Chain A
Amino acid sequence: MPFLYLSKDGLKELLSKLYDWGELFWVDGSFEGKPRLARATKEAIAKYEVPALRGVEPVKSLVIPPKQKVAEYPGNLDKDIEIAPKKRAIFGIAQCDLAGITIFDRVFKDDPEFVDPFYVERRKGLFIVTIDCAKAYPSCFCNLVKGKPFCDPGDGYDLNLTPVEDGFLVDVGTPAGEELLKGTGASQATDSIIAGRDKLRAKVTAQLEKQNAQFATEKTYIELVSEVREEPASYRHHGSTCVECGACTNVCPGCFCFGIYDNDAGDGRYERLMTWDSCQLAGFSRMAGMLNPRLRIAQRFMHRYNHKFFHYPWRYEGWPSCTGCGRCVDNCMGSIDMRATLRDLTVESVEDMLPSPSPKVAEPEAGK
């Protein structure tokens, strides 16, 4: 598939087509400095601005809602359920969010034995348009966790856009993407436009490498975390400012741990709810009789890192369940920086570690 060039007017056309095609969500860059996830409206298409970096919110709520009903009983009614995928599009997500969806896919969709029908229903009808990052937040660290500020063919998008001079370079990922591009005036891209894309990608990658140089380790984070058995001092040092709010897991595009609760729905019916849960809360692993194998904060703190960089890659071909989006760093009330925690894993003395709490990361500059 050749690369295509799409003008700014062509983009409005594409958005209109997507809006008519199904339910459209987008990451809107017109908020000051910080792109936000929102539901698209017809009127807003004219003033929509593509985001220069990832949105503030992860897009996971579109595939795993914070709370959803998964069964109603008794009566054996919901044992086999009809799934009818709804047409939904998300426009303008960054690679870190697409990688998050891939993390969920392995668990909920591609499991050979237990497939989550509710996830499959949402995922099947999902049309994904990704956008290369033109900038990076100071908290972004995708380059340290097998990520990158752009998408490559095979990553799973339907369309990928790269902002280039006066328009976009489009890579088509699926036949559905090709279909939607028809009538938008997309034309074959020239070599100079493709060169422009490569230049942008190199620029953002270089910026990420520069800002994360102080956190880089000789071994990969996965190797480091997987080799640790006893609780390292780093988890106690950096975890000491944790206030157990659960923000890090809620904003994480790769966190999927959930809880199952039953409610009385009245009239002798009961409903089963699946909700987001957080491993940072004490009740997460508490058993009957108040036994809790992860009673201390440091144990739960270590558990989160272990899940992301040891348990998940151990089970799923070496992929971490962290995408390096940096949202946990931005949103931590205790100013805990994941990169600092991981960098200090093999550091024995607290004096040699990075400070805790971590220095507040700078706000991104205003503008697009």
Chain B
Amino acid sequence: MSEKMKNIYYPIDAEVVDVVTETSTIKTFKFKLSEPLKFRAGQFVQLTVPGIGEAPFTPSSEPGESTDLEITILRTGRVTDYLHDFIKPGDPVGIRGPFGEGYPFDKFKGKTVLVVGGGVGLAPMRAGIYGLFQNIDDYKRVSIKFGARTPNDFCFTDEFDTWAKKPHTDLKLTIDRPFPGWTGTVGVVTVLLDDLDVDIEDTYVISCGPDIMLKFVTLKLLDLGFDPFHIYLSMNRRMSCGFGKCHRCNIGPYYICKDGPDMCYGEIMNYPNVFG
């Protein structure tokens, strides 16, 4: 008596085809997968660095089905340090996934979508933005607000102009502290929410960034009168299995890996330690 079963722990083979340096701490890794991977905007994958381990990342490339995948990675821990220091084109890696629910784009139809990103949070946001652009006419408006520490800490700067030119889309940037040559807004990303010109009742927010940014963005939005159920936050938790079994990524009874990673703030707001 034997049968074939899918091994949920197995990474499919992939190869690094290119490494692009975005900023001093952020690189984009381009992969060729041995079989097509289909993911929705907001879903994430587990990237295996052979012998080092796995780490969860939301791809920064366009959602859909493809053997090409891009992941933009900040150097911040064991796996990401190894990626930055040693991984070069031609190296084998593994990909497991996709996992999570992704953004509920259906809910956003006919509404304004406010995209708030900070630092390397722009990386997963890019997949979200590409996802929105795929059906841009479905949405009333797409308003993008990005923040970074310095002008040199923005990734994908060469794409900003193209994004701003899309129909009913606008893009605003800010940096944390004044910087030589920067003439734009200065201040953390919440300053871009100060003079918000959107219909708050009719707007959904998607946001990604460090915990501290998510916290203050959320507080600001609530202050402005946003419905907590209109705020989707890309939560940061340790995710290991990816399918709601190993129980380390929960916020309340929700698994960030299975029910997220973009969680509706209204659903999680009553649980402890939402922002770490």
Contact = CB atoms under 8 A, between A and B. Distances in A.
Decide if A and B are genuine partners: yes
A310 B254 CA distance: 11
Interface residues of A, number: 57
Interface string A244-274: 0000000000001111111110000010101
- With most chain A CB atoms within 10 A of its CB, the pick from B4, B92, B272 is B272
B155 to A, nearest CB: 18
A80 to B, nearest CB: 5
Contacts of B238: 284-287
Contact of B11 (A71, A82, A113, A314): A71
Interface in B1-37: 1-13, 34-35
A263 B243 CA distance: 22
A80 B246 contact: no
B7 A285 contact: no
Given A74-B50, A81-B5, A262-B53, A293 B276 contact: yes
B236 A299 contact: no
B183 interface: no
Contact of A277 (B6, B246, B250, B271): B246
Interface string B34-61: 1100000000000010111111000000
Interface stretch (B73-81, B133-141, B185-193): B73-81
Interface in A288-334: 288-289, 291-294, 299, 302, 307, 310-311, 314-315
Given A83-B5, A293-B276, A315-B253, A76 B12 contact: yes
Contacts of B35: 76
Nearest to A255: B247
B248 A285 contact: yes
B244 to A, nearest CB: 8
A229 interface: yes
A120 interface: yes
Contacts of A85: 1
Given A229-B271, A287-B237, A79 B6 contact: yes
Nearest to B247: A257
Contact of B3 (A82, A261, A274, A279): A82
B162 interface: no
Contacts of B252: 310-311
A286 B55 CA distance: 12
**Of A74, A115, A257, which is in contact with the most chain B CB atoms at under 10 Å from its CB?**
A74
B247 A307 contact: yes
A259 B52 contact: no
Contacts of B4: 80-83
B168 interface: no
A70 B76 CA distance: 27
B94 interface: yes
A80 B7 contact: yes
B169 interface: no
Interface in B222-239: 236-238
Contact of B9 (A84, A274, A310): A274
Nearest to B51: A264
A115 B8 contact: yes
25 contacts: A71-B10, A73-B10, A74-B92, A76-B12, A79-B6, A79-B7, A80-B6, A85-B1, A114-B8, A116-B8, A257-B248, A259-B246, A260-B9, A260-B240, A262-B51, A264-B50, A272-B10, A285-B237, A287-B237, A288-B79, A288-B80, A292-B276, A293-B237, A307-B247, A315-B253
Interface of B: 1-13, 34-35, 48, 50-55, 76-80, 92, 94, 211, 236-238, 240-241, 243-250, 252-253, 270-273, 276
Q: Top 6 A-B pairs ranked by shortest CB distance?
A: A288-B77, A117-B5, A114-B243, A70-B9, A314-B253, A84-B2
